[in-house]
């Protein structure tokens, strides 16, 4: 591959992008970060950070100048409440960013392009039961993805394939399954289940109640952020050009997730289930056979272990915001 020194991370103001910038800087790369916003909770260690709206082609040309590798993580996204309510905006924003980033990378002679897609590309008809069969890469077709967000990701996976096959841009594609960890959004409507539950438990009193979306028997697997950035790097540097799952195989119900967080917090927590709230697919898990086979690695950090720093970080943030009362602090 030759020695690559200069890389671009888009979405560098976001949760995974920011962690990836830190990881790449620590590995000795020169990193340009691009986003429409700065990282919220700590400064970016990127050598250069540019505030650019990647829905504009000319900005994608600016972002990709003089770099060899592009990690394209920027996306309009959020938790299930968000992505199930704004299909038009999410699909439009991500379509524009994705196609312009691919084309700008090609024009600027980028040698490798990483795209973060999602477990939301998998067909809904395979995810109707909590005892779900783990999803294999080939299950994505015939397609019935999540409306808006998932459909757009699936389409971009194909564009990456076409650009690689016909236009000579090496592309790598990873389907992330629920990522969590410190510095992730924990409030405001775009947060995901682990962060939302950590926040609710931190704000509850011992013996208090938290609201759970759905009956809590929906199942998921969750990947700790350190596994995610390492997986991104390994997939980017592998020879395998087709989409790969990047997720944990440790399946839990949302009720079990709440129990784990309550135990970490040292609180007795009662669950109040709100059946009117969106809960997404009934069950979803990653099948890691392919990544084990082609990369010889898979995410390994147990959920219970990764939740400890995540909970502590969210609790600390809430304390700084003055939202923990004396009794809960």
Q: Which residues contact 212 (CB under 8 A, 6 or more apart)?
A: 197, 254, 255, 258, 271, 272, 273, 274
Instruction: Determine phi and psi for 153, rounding to 5 degrees.
Output: -60, -40
Told to check if 310 binds ligand NAD by CB under 6 A, we report no
Told to check if 53 binds ligand NAD by CB under 6 A, we report yes
241 in Cβ contact with 174 (< 8 Å): no
Helix (H, G, I), strand (E, B) or coil at 313: helix
Told to check if 243 binds ligand NAD by CB under 6 A, we report no
Nearer to ligand NAD (CB atom), residue 12 or residue 260: 12
Residue of 18, 24, 7 lying closest to 70 (CA atoms): 7
Residues 66 to 95 in contact with ligand NAD, rule: CB under 6 A: 73-77, 93
CB of 105 to ligand NAD, least distance (A): 15
Query: Stretches 129-137, 172-180, 277-285, 288-296: which one binds ligand NAD (CB under 6 A)?
Result: 172-180
- Burial label for 167, CB within 10 Å (0-12, 13-18, 19+), is exposed
Residues 108 to 137 in contact with ligand NAD, rule: CB under 6 A: 116, 118
Residue of 308, 302, 222 lying closest to 264 (CA atoms): 308
Nearer to ligand NAD (CB atom), residue 80 or residue 204: 80
Query: Stretches 50-58, 135-143, 234-242, 311-319: which one binds ligand NAD (CB under 6 A)?
Result: 50-58
Enumerate the active-site residues. Answer: 149
Among 7, 8, 9, 11, binds ligand NAD (CB under 6 A): 11
Q: How far apart are CA 15 and CA 182, in angstroms?
A: 9
Nearer to ligand NAD (CB atom), residue 53 or residue 249: 53
Q: How far apart are CA 323 and CA 317, in angstroms?
A: 9
- Kind of pairing between the strands at 251-253 and 219-221: antiparallel
30 in Cβ contact with 7 (< 8 Å): yes
Query: In the bound complex, which residue of the shown chain has the CB atom lying closest to ligand NAD?
Result: 14
Among 35, 68, 103, 137, binds ligand NAD (CB under 6 A): 35
Among 17, 123, 194, 214, binds ligand NAD (CB under 6 A): 17
The residue assigned the tokens 């950035």 is 229
Residues 173 to 232 in contact with ligand NAD, rule: CB under 6 A: 176, 178-179, 185, 192
Among 9, 15, 216, 285, binds ligand NAD (CB under 6 A): 15
Which residues of this protein are in contact with ligand NAD, per CB under 6 A? Answer: 11, 13-17, 35-37, 53-55, 73-77, 93, 97, 116, 118, 176, 178-179, 185, 192
């Amino acid at each position: 591959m030759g020695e690559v020194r200069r890389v671009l991370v888009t979405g560098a103001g976001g949760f995974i992008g920011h962690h990836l910038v830190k990881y790449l800087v620590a590995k000795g790369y020169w990193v340009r970060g691009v986003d429409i916003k700065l990282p919220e909770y700590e400064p970016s260690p990127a050598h250069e950070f540019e505030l650019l709206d990647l829905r504009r082609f000319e900005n994608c040309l600016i972002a990709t100048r003089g770099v060899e590798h592009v990690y394209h993580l920027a996306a309009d996204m959020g938790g299930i409440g968000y992505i199930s309510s704004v299909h038009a905006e999410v699909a439009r924003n991500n379509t524009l960013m994705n196609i312009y980033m691919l084309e700008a990378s090609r024009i600027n002679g980028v040698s490798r392009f990483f795209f973060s897609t999602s477990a939301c590309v998998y067909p809904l008809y395979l995810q109707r039961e909590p005892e779900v069969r783990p999803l294999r890469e080939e299950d994505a077709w015939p397609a019935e993805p999540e409306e808006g967000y998932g459909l757009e990701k699936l389409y971009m996976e194909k564009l990456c394939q076409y650009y690689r096959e016909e236009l000579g841009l090496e592309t790598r594609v990873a389907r992330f399954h629920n990522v969590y960890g410190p510095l992730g959004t924990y409030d405001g409507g775009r947060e995901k289940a682990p962060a939302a539950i950590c926040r609710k438990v931190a704000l509850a009193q011992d013996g208090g109640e938290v609201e759970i979306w759905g009956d809590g028997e929906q199942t998921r697997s969750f990947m700790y952020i350190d596994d995610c950035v390492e997986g991104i790097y390994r997939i980017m540097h592998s020879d395998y050009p087709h989409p790969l799952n990047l997720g944990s195989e440790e399946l839990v119900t949302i009720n079990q997730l709440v129990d784990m967080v309550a135990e970490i917090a040292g609180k007795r927590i009662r669950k109040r289930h709100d059946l009117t709230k969106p809960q997404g697919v009934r069950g979803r898990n990653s099948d890691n056979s392919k990544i084990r086979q082609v990369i010889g690695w898979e995410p390994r950090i147990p959920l219970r272990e990764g939740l400890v720093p995540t909970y502590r970080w969210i609790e600390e943030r809430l304390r700084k915001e003055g939202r923990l009362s004396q009794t809960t602090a």
